[in-house]
Amino acid sequence: MKTEYLSKDDIRRAADLILAGELVAFQTETVYGLGADATNSEAVEKIFKAKGRPADNPLIVHVDSIDMAESLASQIPEKAKILMDKFWPGPLTIILPVEEGLISEKVTGGLKTVGLRLPASKTAQALIHEVGRPIAAPSANTSGKPSPTQADHVWHDLKGKIAAIIDDGPTGVGLESTVIEIKDDQVLLYRPGGISQSDLEKIVGSVNLATSIDQAEQPKSPGLKYRHYAPDKPVKIFLADDEKLDKKIAQAHSQGHELGLLVSDETLGKIKISVKDHYSLGKERDIKIASQQLFAGLRFLEEAEVTLILAESMADLTGSEAYMNRLEKAAAGQYI
Ligand code: TXA
Ligand code: MG
């Protein structure tokens, strides 16, 4: 299949492709999504095929208005309403009981719930509006790769497998949306993301991390059982203020490693030993910029001539939960 490379002025063409049951990747404020008509099972099946994604991992459904969200949910708890009003459009996915018969069961993987999100990206909104139907969209990467934050990441993974990509520049947030569900008036946080736990707590009081909920309690976000990102190269995390860092780098070199650092310029300036390659997480240690750059940096260093990627921890910065969550997954929890 020839993949069309579209711009944000080609929304009509993109909408026609989606209505014809094809896949179109589009920019959202978090990461690029791989969109299909959520009401069309054949189209939705193509998403799983193109990504190599397990069929029981449900997809987020993107809407262009709170009205559209209300039509797809059979019931909306009070706290969900409050959070929609506060954070939509934006990087928050809310899992709600699904209204039967409207969206394909392939989207929900047979669950009685659906994850809904109203993206802030104007291009994404325009596309959903032009299609006039909800759009199912996971991140537009091959399953197991870092989520795409630029159109060329999508091109790299999915060229030839999907109908089109709308290039609208790099994404602003750089990490996927926060995923929550409200159960018995409690807000459960399944995936940290663009909206932080403390942002949520300021509006609705205490939020429970789903990982701290009794393991026996079902269902959890099915995505939790899959490793998000298994890099081809080992990744280890380092602490910016580690006094032994130079020593550890020298040791890795003596073991024959070529190193790629994923690091802020500020921290790089303090490292005395030169390494094979690096990718900048921004001038200063800034969690917004580091989050924007994390996935692009992991992709860049995977392609570089290095054998070990060392990535900077930002755990000491406020609002770093989502960054650290993705980085710890990439590093399988390993620190140097
Ligand atoms: O920022 C984002 O959320 C991006 C953009 C494209 O919107 N999308 C994204 O989708 O990251 P995906 O498919 O890579 O992640 C969806 C997550 C998965 O962890 C999935 O298990 C969870 O949301 N999820 C979706 N529907 C669910 C449901 N009904 N119940 C529980 N978890 C659900
Ligand atoms: Mg994903």
What is the rounded distance in angstroms from the CA atom of residue 51 to the CA atom of residue 137? 11
Ligand 1 center to 256 CA (angstroms): 39
Find, among 15, 326, 312, the residue nearest to 176 by Cα: 326
CA of 26, nearest ligand number: 1
Give the per-residue pLDDT at 232.
83
Ligand 2 center to 318 CA (angstroms): 24
Q: Give the mean pLDDT per block of 10 residues along the chain (336 residues).
A: 97 98 98 98 98 92 98 98 98 97 95 97 98 98 95 98 98 97 96 95 94 46 61 93 96 98 98 97 98 98 97 97 96 95
Give the per-residue pLDDT at 214.
42
- Nearest ligand 1 atom to alpha carbon 137: 6
**247-263 per-residue burial string, b: 16 or more CB within 10 A, e: under 16:** ebbeebeeeebebbbbb
**Range 4-10 contact pairs with CB under 8 angstroms and sequence separation of 24 or more:** 4/163, 4/164, 4/165, 5/151, 5/155, 5/164, 5/165, 5/167, 6/164, 6/165, 6/166, 6/167, 7/166, 7/167, 7/168, 8/122, 8/123, 8/126, 8/166, 8/167, 8/168, 10/166
CB distance 177 to ligand 1 below 6 Å: yes
Token code pair at residue 45: 């099946």
What is the rounded distance in angstroms from the CA atom of residue 25 to the CA atom of residue 11? 12
Give the per-residue pLDDT at 84.
98
Give the per-residue pLDDT at 56.
87
Residue nearest to atom 3 of ligand 1 (CA): 177
CB distance 33 to ligand 1 below 6 Å: yes
Ligand 1 pocket test, candidate residues 26, 63, 139, 182, most atoms within 8 A of CB: 139
CA of 47, nearest ligand number: 1
Ligand 2 center to 239 CA (angstroms): 27
Find, among 53, 317, 320, 83, the residue nearest to 192 by Cα: 320
pTM passes above 0.85: yes
The 3-state secondary structure of the chain, one letter per residue? CCCEEEEHHHHHHHHHHHHCCCCEEECCCCCCEEEEECCCHHHHHHHHHHHCCCCCCCCEEECCCHHHHHHHECCCCHHHHHHHHHHCCCCEEEEEEECCCCCCHHHHCCCCEEEEECCCCHHHHHHHHHHCCCEECCECCCCECCCCCCHHHHHHHHCCCCCEEEECCCCCCCCCCEEEEEECCEEEEEECCCCCHHHHHHHHCCEEEHHHCCCCCCCCCHHHHCCCECCCCCEEEECCCCCCHHHHHHHHHHCCCCEEEEECHHHHCCCCCCCCEEEECCCCCCHHHHHHHHHHHHHHHHHCCCCEEEEECCCCCCCCHHHHHHHHHHCCCCEC
Residue nearest to atom 20 of ligand 1 (CA): 223
CB distance 31 to ligand 1 below 6 Å: yes
Give the per-residue pLDDT at 231.
76
Residue nearest to atom 12 of ligand 1 (CA): 138
Residues that place a CB less than 5 A from ion ligand 2: 139
- Nearest ligand 1 atom to alpha carbon 53: 13
